Structure 1
Amino acid sequence: MEPTTAARAELNAIRIRRAELRDALDDLEHALAAPASGRAVVWGEGVQTSVVRLAGDFGAHVEATEGPDGLHQSILAGDLRLANAVDALTAEHARIAGDIAALVADSSAPVGPTDVEDLRDRGTALLSQLIRHRQRGADLIYEAYETDIGGGD
């Protein structure tokens, strides 16, 4: 289906939020990859800052897609056959938001040397979930509007 003028405006806003979310993912990846040996508390503070930023950006993403005038409603108004894909992405939002909240809580100061490996593993798994989620979202938008929203790079 051809996007309406309103949908085109929303897609442009999605592109911007997508780039912001990609920046937050990069920020978290860099924080997780920073050296932690002998500096677990400082490392943990960097991870905490990054994951809090990610939580905000992901919350904005959820609001923009699930809100009453959100992208998912626009997609469903044009093509109900995409309901299963929309439902799957919505369910992922809840799981990912829970994982982000848990990482925010567990990276609160002070992070000790024994916490680093677990936080890195969970943070890396979260990054992987988010990357796959973004890919599925891009696929849904393409299927709905035959529009490539780009990688947000």
Structure 2
Amino acid sequence: MDESFARHLERVRAHRAELGESMAALDAALALPVGLGSVWRRRVRAALTELAHDLRDHVDLTEAPDGLYADLREREPRLSAGVQAQLTDHAELLAEVDRLLGERDEGVPGATAVQEHREAATRLIGRLVRHRQRGSDLIHAAYDVDIGGSG
């Protein structure tokens, strides 16, 4: 692995840690009692906003023309289906984050809608966990490198 790509992989590792931290912050916000009302809504909104930022950074970094996924496809064509799955995840995850942020912007009326919002955000965290797992597996399969599982 050349020096420039090794530096790129270090940036991926750092952004991965940031994304993990924002996922944990959203999980913590969602775990608060919804009975806190506006406090709960503000915490969830702030955590979702940070997650959206970190997810966009992750997508920009990994999908760059000289980035991780381009290198994976070139170096290990056998992993192309896995890379494509990650790219599909990116589009779907970004759309879901935007949808959840839109709900927060519009306000979530009523207790049932708040519970549905909470469930959708919790499912998002689960999808992100699986996305990170698959990304870690791809990187290990291509470079025999552990990208790191914790923040």
Give the TM-score normalised by the residue count of structure 1. 0.92
Matched residue, 2:97? 100
- Bigger proportion of residues as helix: 2
- Structure with more contact order per residue of length (Cα contacts < 8 Å, sep ≥ 6): 1
Which amino acid in the other structure matches residue 134 of structure 1? R
* Alpha-carbon offset, residue 109 of structure 1: 6.0
Correspondence for 2:128: 130
Deviations 1:94-115 (A, max 9, x none): 1111111111111226444423
C-alpha distance in structure 2 between counterparts of 1:122 and 1:141, whole Å:
29
2:24 corresponds to 1:26 = yes
1:109 & 1:77 partners in 2: Cα distance? 44
Which residues of 2 match residues 3-152 of structure 1 at below 5 A? 3-37=1-35, 39-108=36-105, 110-114=107-111, 115-152=113-150
Distance in 1, matches of 2:32 and 2:69, equals 37
1:17 and 1:31 map into 2 onto residues whose CA distance is 21
Q: Is the 8 A contact 1:24 1:54 kept in 2?
A: yes
Q: Which amino acid aligns with 1:79?
A: E
Matched to 2:104, the amino acid is: S
Structure 2 residues not aligned, in runs of 5+: none
The aligned amino acid for 1:25 is M
Tell me, in whole angstroms, the C-alpha distance in 1 between the residues paired with 2:97 and 2:107. Answer: 18
* Distance in 1 between residues matched to 2:86 and 2:135, nearest whole Å: 7
- Could you tell me the TM-score, scaled by structure 2's length? 0.94
Q: Name the SS for the 1:127 alignment partner.
A: helix
CA distance in 2, matches of 1:121, 1:137: 24
Question: RMSD value over aligned CA atoms?
Answer: 1.3
Q: What is the CA–CA distance in structure 2 between the aligned matches of 1:47 and 1:112, rounded to whole Å?
A: 15
C-alpha deviation, 1:6, in angstroms = 1.9
Partner SS state of residue 105, structure 2: coil
Contact 1:41 1:112 in 2 (8 A): no
